[in-house]
Amino acid sequence: MSCYFGCSVKCESILVARYATFAALALHEHPQCRQKLQHDGEDYCEWFVQEVRRFYPFFPFAAAIVSHDFDWHEYHFTQETRVLLDLYGTNHDPQLWSNPEVFFSERFRDWNGSRFNLIPQRGGDYYINHRCPGEWITIALMKVTLNFLTQSLKYDLL
Ligand code: HEM
């Protein structure tokens, strides 16, 4: 299986390892979340993982070339133009997220599940767009990592 960079599945493992590191960093920066992860169950763990994916910087942009002329809202897109989708900016857009620079897992309690506001691994539809099909594997691996860090391991950061 190839990824964004056209290399092997090992590359995806490195991507997920980076998110696992961001999850550990979030635990360190927000120690009050540790107890919630230990005691509040699956829902809180899901919100925490989504907030890590929203909050921390990963892919800044996804690039594409316009295949045919079209208009979207007030913008005209001309064939052959290189365009960038601002992944990080969308995940921090104050029109989409209240207090976007605050790490707050509970915001996902009422999240509308839109395919166009939480887009750390690209937006749109898995079947007809280029949204990352590894998104759910990534989320599952992050949950396993958090479970290990909060339930099975005692550690200090030096
Ligand atoms: C932290 C983890 C990951 C991140 C941040 C990530 C990010 C992305 C992004 C941004 C794209 C869209 C690239 C583009 O079209 O410009 C993409 C595509 C893709 N990803 Fe991931 N990915 C991750 C994990 C995975 C995993 C675990 C797999 C598979 C096991 C995977 C498989 C793919 C594939 C096959 C595509 C191409 C989809 C297509 O072009 O239709 N990714 N990924």
Give the CATH number for residue 23: 1.10.630.10
Band of pLDDT at residue 17, cut at 50, 70 and 90: very high
* pLDDT value of residue 2: 42
Residue 6 lies in a domain: no
Residue 119 lies in a domain: yes
Residue 93 lies in a domain: yes
29-38 pLDDT tens trace: 999 999 999 9
Residue 91 CB less than 6 A away from ligand 1: no
81-100 pLDDT tens trace: 999 999 999 999 999 999 99
Report the candidate in 81, 78, 82, 61 with the shortest Cα–Cα distance to residue 69: 78
Band of pLDDT at residue 55, cut at 50, 70 and 90: very high
Residue 5 lies in a domain: no
pTM (predicted TM-score): 0.92
- Report the pLDDT averaged over residues 51-59: 96
- The alpha carbon of 26 and the centre of ligand 1 are apart by a number of angstroms equal to 23
Residue 10 lies in a domain: no
How many structural domains are present in the chain?
Answer: 1
Residue 4 CB less than 6 A away from ligand 1: yes
Share of the chain above pLDDT 70, in %: 94
Residue 21 lies in a domain: yes
The tally of CA atoms less than 13 A away on the side-chain side of residue 76 is 2
Which residues constitute the domain of residue 26? 15-152
Q: Is the pLDDT at 1 greater than 50, yes or no?
A: no
Helix (DSSP H) and strand (DSSP E) numbers for the chain: 5, 4
Residue 118 CB less than 6 A away from ligand 1: no
